[in-house]
Chain A
Amino acid sequence: MSTDFIVFILSVISIGSIAIGFSVYARERTNPANMFFAIFAISAGLWGGFGIIKYYAYVNWDYVPDTLYFTKFATAIIATAFFSLCLFSSSFPQGRLLLSKKMLIGKFILYMAVIVAIFIPGAVIVSDSFIEEGGVVAFQSAIEWGPFYWYLFAPFLFTCFLVGMGQLIKNYREAKDAFQKSQILYVSLGLGLSAGPGLILWFFLPQEYFWVARFSVFIFIALTAYAVLRHKFFTFRTAAAEFFTLVIGIFLFAQTVASFGDWREFAISGGLLVFVGFFGSLLITSVKHEVEHRRKLEEMTKRLTLANEHLEELDAIKSQFLSFASHQVKTPMTIIKGYVSLLQDDVETLSDEEIKDMSGKIRMATDRTISLVNNLLDLRRIEEGQMEYHMDAMDIVPLIRETFEDLRIVAENKKLSFTRELPDEAVSAQVDVIKIRQVFLNLIENALKYTNEGWVDVRLEKESDRTVLFTVRDSGLGMSDDAKKSIFKEIYRDSVVVKAIKGTGFGLYIAKHVVDAHGGEIWAESEGEGKGSAFFVRLPLDHAESVEKKDVVEN
């Protein structure tokens, strides 16, 4: 094999390694695996690069460089390459350094020792280096190694290789998916088949075959780069376009440099180089464009799918709401229809007392229907985020008194003791009068509904200068601890419609929403089932400085 050809190929490989290193790093800068790989590939590239520069300087300009210094530098770079190789293997592909701290520190100390040993004066690792006059190793200087070459340098490289290999096997075993496994397989293959044998060849072949090691290392770099970049299919396409353009460019560049002196060939190669550069960059741009386009398309499809799912969910909620709402309305309608038909059929035989009682029940069921419809509409508004509040400063005492009086007939019908205790002075708060009235009404109505005998007591008291507390207590059904927690949650969203429809507490869900919007609190207490309940609403008092009317629109 002609020396020129080997040098040419090595130039390509060196520049290629550096390019791949940068390219992998640029893909994912924050990933340590990418960074370590880049250091490795660039080091490997520089290693070759130094040899080539030295060769050109010697052959073309008869310059005999300070070979010893060159060699020391190249040796340090090899040590760096293997150290980063070891770090890369332990952080690929998950992107976290998995090496134990002890091992990491040990390796680092060893690395520093190698570097120091290379550069300190004296023949510790590199004893001498010279270029043999007309020797067979045309571009490579002959090197004489010092004693630490075998005692420190070689063990360092081999342990880096072995630790890296071991870590890869461990990562392979722990890899979660088949894809990561295949990535690790590529890297291990590259490391095992090329870097390993390359290392052995380097140490045990005669010096004139040094270049073989560089070839084998390049195989590893190429395979690893493929494995690293492959996990993003689209970006790999861009990387491939860049890579091939670069390789062709490098070949042409090398050819151009080599033909320096032969102007005709120089012009052709140079022209081709410009041509490839121009169209190559066009190709890369268009591939990047397409990749970006597809990525956007994919993203859009994902977003559309999500939006569609959301719509389907809303649709399901809507139809559940509809069946919930219609069922809710059916109950009071059944009662109204029942009593009206009894009155129609039996009017002659019914006593005045019975007729009065039935009319009272019809009135109650009618009220219940009305408040039900109002609640359903509010529920809908809350769902759609369109509940609007019109806040005004007002005295809430008369409001509660009126609500209480409206419900007196219900208490009388059920023969319950129905009492209230309200302050004599005005209690002013910023409220949406219609909505807050609905809250008071719901709470008192519920107490009356779930109390079959005994009493219901309503009170309002100032707690401090800042808050007022509204309380409804009853001797009714009471509730469990679980119920206390869940009663303020909306109920019709349950997956089982049958179960959901049964819920009647959605007035409390609305109440919570309304009280929250007023900057207040709502909660329930009960000693347990059968032991009565108490419901509390705490509202902030209105202060003179904040009397100005404010409208709150919810979103």
Chain B
Amino acid sequence: MTEAKNEKLKVLLFVEDEPDIVTLYKSTFERSGFSVDATDNGTAALERIAAYREKTGELPNVMVFDILLPDKISGMDVLREVRKYAEFDAIPIIMFTNFSSDEFRREIESMKNTRYMLKLEATPKQLVDEIKKMIGS
């Protein structure tokens, strides 16, 4: 299953709070050749973004955010923060959630390089395929 033999592993920032879902998708991403940086809350996710801007953190190749998170900062807040800066435009983001909202869908799809996917409607393989399509590999 390891496809990225000759190049550096692609880095994926994964923001998800449900431990069982983290276990499932982390192993799936890793099997598909990603190095996964996982965090379970919005505050930590925003800290990651700040670190990328200060060049102290390794810029990921793709980001996957859940919307409903335990503290006051939702995945939508993290997304809005990231999309404020043109330097992250090239990094695809997938909002991967079971929170179904037309309002959020419209907002997400109006952004560059950003997709909205419902967890229950996708299999792990479909998510990985979508990610690969977006990063063009």
> Which residue of B is nearest A332, CB measured?
B20
A130 at the interface (CB under 8 A from B): no
> Is there a chain B Cβ closer than 8 Å to A327's Cβ?
yes
Q: Are A337 and B123 in contact (CB under 8 A)?
A: yes
Q: How far is A365 from B74 in the complex, measured between Cα atoms in Å?
A: 25
**Which chain B residues border A349 with CB–CB below 8 Å?**
1
Question: Are A335 and B20 within 8 A (Cβ)?
Answer: yes
Q: Is the CB of B19 within 8 A of A330?
A: no
Which residues on A sit within 8 Å (CB–CB) of B69? 502
CA distance A361 to B21 in the complex (A): 11
A338–B1 contact, CB under 8 A? no
Given contacts A330-B120, A341-B123, A341-B124, contact A335 B21 (CB under 8 A): yes
B18 is an interface residue with CB less than 8 A from chain A: yes
Is B116's beta carbon under 8 Å from chain A? no
B1 to chain A: closest residue by CB: A349
Asked whether any CB of chain B lies closer than 8 Å to the CB of A285, the reply is: no
When the two chains form their complex, are residues A334 and B28 in contact, meaning their CB atoms are under 8 A apart? no
Partner of B99, one of A341, A365, A501: A501
Alpha-carbon gap, A269 to B100, bound state (A): 86
Tell me which of B1, B19, B67, B119 contacts A334 (CB under 8 A).
B119
A234–B1 CA distance with the chains assembled, in angstroms: 86
* Cβ–Cβ contact A337 & B120, under 8 A: yes
Is the C-beta of A345 less than 8 angstroms from some C-beta in chain B? yes
Q: Mark A326-344, 1 if CB is under 8 A from B, else 0.
A: 0100111111011101100
Q: Which of B12-46 contact A (CB under 8 A)?
A: 18-21, 23-25, 28
Interface size class of A (residues with CB under 8 A): 20 to 34
Q: Which one of B19, B28, B70 lies within 8 Å of A452 (CB-CB)?
A: B19
The number of chain B residues with a CB under 8 A from chain A is 21
Residues of A within 8 A of B1 (CB): 346, 349
Q: Is B11 an interface residue (CB 8 A)?
A: no
Residues A302-350 near B (CB distance < 8 A): 327, 330-335, 337-339, 341-342, 345-346, 349
A346→B18 CA distance, assembly (Å): 24
Quote the shortest CB–CB distance from B116 to chain A (angstroms): 15
Asked whether A293 is an interface residue with its Cβ less than 8 Å from the other chain, the reply is no
Q: Is B80 an interface residue (CB 8 A)?
A: no
Smallest distance from the beta carbon of B66 to chain A beta carbons, Å?
10
* Residues of chain B within 8 A of A113, CB atoms compared: none
Question: B68 at the A/B interface (Cβ < 8 Å)?
Answer: yes
Is A498 interfacial (CB 8 A cutoff)?
yes
Cβ distance B79 to chain A, nearest Cβ, rounded Å: 14
Q: Which of A330, A452, A501 has the most CB of B within 10 A?
A: A330
- Chain B residues lying within 8 Å of A339, measured Cβ to Cβ, are 24
**Is A531 part of the contact surface with B, judged by Cβ < 8 Å?**
no
**Given A334-B119, A338-B24, A501-B68, does the pair A327, B124 have CB atoms closer than 8 Å?**
no
Q: Are B99 and A498 in contact (CB under 8 A)?
A: yes
Q: Does B132 contact A (CB under 8 A)?
A: no
CA distance A327 to B21 in the complex (A): 14
Docked Cα-Cα span, A501 to B98, in Å, equals: 11
Q: Are A342 and B28 in contact (CB under 8 A)?
A: yes
Q: Is B112 an interface residue (CB 8 A)?
A: no
Q: In the complex, A330 Cα to B68 Cα: how many Å?
A: 13
Interface pair B99/A335, CB less than 8 Å apart: no
The answer on a CB contact under 8 Å between B21 and A334 is: yes
Let me know if B124 and A342 touch, CB within 8 A. Answer: yes
Q: Which residue of B lies closest to A501 (CB)?
A: B68
Q: Is B125 an interface residue (CB 8 A)?
A: yes
Residues of B close to A361: CB separation below 8 A: 20, 23-24
CB distance from A293 to the nearest CB of B (A): 50
CB-CB < 8 A to A501: which residues of B? 68, 99
Question: Can you offer 18 A-B residue contacts whose CB atoms are under 8 A?
Answer: A327-B68, A327-B98, A327-B99, A330-B98, A330-B120, A331-B20, A332-B20, A333-B120, A334-B120, A335-B20, A337-B120, A338-B124, A346-B1, A349-B1, A361-B23, A452-B19, A498-B74, A498-B99
3 smallest CB-CB distances across A and B, nearest first, come from A341-B123, A330-B98, A334-B119
